[in-house]
Amino acid sequence: MSNSIKPNTTGLIFAMREEQEGLQSFIQNKKVHHIAKRDFIQGELWGHPVVMVLSGIGKVAAASTTSLLIHHFQVNQLILSGVAGSTDPVLKVGDIVIGKELLQHDIDASPLFPRFEIPLTGKSRFFAQKDLLNEVQNATTRFIQSMKQHFSSAQLDEFQLQNVKLHTGLIASGDQFIHDSSVLNQLKQALPDLLAVEMEGAAIAQVCEEHDLAFVIIRTISDSANETAHIDFLSFVKNVAAPYSLGILKNYFENRIKS
Ligand code: ADE
């Protein structure tokens, strides 16, 4: 497979099928590779080589998928697009958060190591690469400015998307769907700068850091990580998060310099 890989290939990871589906129809010169019970869809998006894959949910699925993308496809950067729960009242459902820093909120080997630190690495936070972060922030800002082209006014009303904002900062990942205010409050106490929680980003970040690869995690806020978190989750993913992923990634690739 290595021989057919083009340089500068972007790995695109999605945790849920609905999020991947929109982009799939735009892929050119498509080839599907079935590895480790996943379909890796190789091809081009707006002239750029990509391999897109559905990781499944959780840190193990995300880490395993990242490793496969690196070793089978020699991707040189990774982008995950999906949804997250807000951990700060400033972030509303429908807003977008881009992870500048990623942390695993469920790793705790204390008292041997500080809470949140990956034992024997001295690290608890992984950082997105500046250039990729800037390019994706720009693509997202342009997407937000053009929301009216992507959604009908009925949809903008239904999902309350009139005043969508982009936030950049700390995202924490763990193998839990957080839907309990007391769990949320404890996390927020330990991590006051935390913006959002999800279940994959920091695992991807750790594997990328081990391989010196750039990554960026883009998340649409789907819920407030409290007792209301499950309400209409799938409808939101399908009707809002999936078109967001398509719009942001289209902007990103259309403006990316071809190598
Ligand atoms: N992804 C979307 N919402 C989430 C939540 N509340 N907890 C964990 N992952 C999520």
Annotated catalytic residue: which of 18, 19, 101, 135?
19
Distance from the alpha carbon of residue 201 to the mean position of ligand 1, in angstroms = 11
* 84 ligand 1 Cβ < 6 A: yes
Distance from the alpha carbon of residue 173 to the mean position of ligand 1, in angstroms = 9
3-state secondary structure 119-164: CCCCECEEECCHHHHHHHHHHHHHHHHCHHHHCCHHHHHHCCCCCC
Q: Which residue has the higher pLDDT, 27 or 230?
A: 27
* pLDDT confidence tier of residue 6, bands split at 50, 70 and 90: low
Q: Is the pTM of the predicted complex or chain greater than 0.85? A: yes
Average pLDDT of span 225-246: 87
Q: What pairing do the DSSP bridges indicate for beta strands 194-198 and 77-86? A: antiparallel
* 178 ligand 1 Cβ < 6 A: yes
CATH number for the 2-254 domain, one of 3.30.1330.60, 3.40.50.1370, 3.40.50.1580, 2.40.10.120? Answer: 3.40.50.1580
19 labelled catalytic: yes
Average pLDDT of the chain is 94
Residue 175 CB burial class (10 angstroms; 0-12, 13-18, ≥19): middle
pLDDT of residue 3: 47
101 labelled catalytic: no
pLDDT one-digit tens code per residue, 129-187: 999 999 999 999 999 999 999 999 999 999 999 999 999 999 999 999 999 999 999 99
Distances (CA, A) of 121 to 55, 67, 113, 131, 161: 25, 19, 10, 25, 41
Which residues, 6 or more positions from 142, have their beta carbon under 8 angstroms from its beta carbon? 251
